[in-house]
Structure 1
Amino acid sequence: MPFDCERLKALLTGLSLVKDCQRLKDGTIRMATNLRYPNGSFVDIFVHAQGDLGNAGPGLFKGHVLSDMGQTALYLLQLGMEVWATEKRKLAVEDVCKILGVESKRSQLQVKLISDEEGQVADAFLRLAQACIRIADLSYMQRFAAPGMFKEEVAEFLTEAHFRFEPDIVLAGKYDTDVPVDFRVKSRKTSLLRLISGKTTSATHVTANEVFRCWHDLSGFQKANRFITLVDARDRMGLVRGDDAARLAEMSEIVFFPTQERQLASLLAA
Structure 2
Amino acid sequence: MTTRCETLADELGGLFTCVTNDRHERIRTPFLYPDGDNIDLFVTEKDGGLIVSDLGETLRWLRSQTLSPKRTPKQNALIADVCLTHGIEQFRGMLLARCRPGMTLATVTLRVAQACLRVSDLWFTFRTRAVESVADEVSDFLLEREIRFDRRPKMVGRSGRGWTPDFHVILPERGSLVSVLSTGNRSSARPVAEHTLAMWHDLNQLTYGPEALRLISLFDDTADVWQDEDFTLLDSLSEVRRWSEPETFIEALDAVA
- TM (norm. structure 1) is 0.43
- TM (norm. structure 2) is 0.46
Instruction: Name which one, 1 or 2, has greater alpha-carbon Rg.
Output: 1
